[in-house]
Amino acid sequence: MIVTTGQLSEVAYGGFAIGAYNINNAEQTMGLFQGCMDSQAPFIIQISKGARAYTDKRLLEAMIRAAAEIFPDAVFAVHLDHGDEETCYDCIDSGFFSSVMIDASHEEFEENIAITKRVVDRAHAVGISVEAELGVLGGVEEDVVGDNPCLTDPDEAVEFIDRSGCDSLAAAIGTSHGAYKFEGGQGIHFDILDDIKARKPGFPLVMHGSSSVPADEVARINAAGGKLVGAAGVDVKQYMPAAKRGVAKINIDTDGRLVWTRVHREHLTATPDEIDFRKPGKTFIAEYAKFIASRNELLGSAGQLEATRAHVTA
């Protein structure tokens, strides 16, 4: 069942967070659905502009439709991650997406509002939720480059929400994209979440750049020939404190890439005479499903599937 991120946020707000996971191919799609069914969790499928170009948007949509038939009990949103205005309109017009993110955070404040409001007006006309971003995250994710990180100002956040009409807001609170998130004394600024929540109670916030970059995954990748030096991520113990502060959606992408890289590096290293790519693919689906289920447990969304279905169908 495809629902909007707005519907999912209504169930999650203040109690837990919905996991938002990026996919690019069939193996990720199958692992994601399996992991969420194993943990009985609602979820958000995130498709980036890069993913739509890599696999082709038509093929990605077909894979998700097929997975929804294979796993008929799944409750999920289909969300465009970090879209520009043109891509947002393409996804809105596709009739498939239930949610889009317009990322105009690199623009000046007034221009960010203007762009976001245009997307909101177009999306709301057909019942689609809109996520926006204010502030600039550090790191690199595909064509999103945070050269000059800038934390979200709570005063501006309130004004932005009110004037743009967005349904959720990705706030820059100290996290960053990629596998190299924190240096020195950097960390999550929970005070920003507290401030926004106090001023806009009930309004869902989004935490980007939330992969934990597990040390054991990094170590296994490096043992199989990788060179990830200094990789670090978000402490998973910070997921629930963020959820209690109004974060209803937490994005996790890099960790999935680490699982993919680890499985394939280990397979290719251990079996240099093997050419059947389905073998590591099968292993990845199982490993990714296990990873997804573990993250849903930490986010508090595990076991929330039936309550979510009851809410969206009421």
Q: What is the pLDDT of residues 146-180, one digit of tens each?
A: 445 678 999 999 999 999 999 999 998 877 655 44
Q: Which of 48-62, 181-195, 208-222, 297-311 has the highest mean pLDDT?
A: 297-311
Band (185; pLDDT cuts 50, 70, 90): very low
Has residue 5 got a pLDDT over 60? yes
What is the structure's pLDDT at 32? Answer: 98
Determine phi and psi for 148, rounding to 5 degrees: -130, 80
When pLDDT is averaged across residues 21-45 and rounded to a whole number, the result is 97
Has residue 186 got a pLDDT over 70? no
* CATH no., domain 5-313: 3.20.20.70
Of 56, 73, 81, 216, which residue is the catalytic one?
Answer: 81
Q: In the chain, what are the domain boundaries? A: 5-313
Q: Is 84 an active-site residue?
A: no
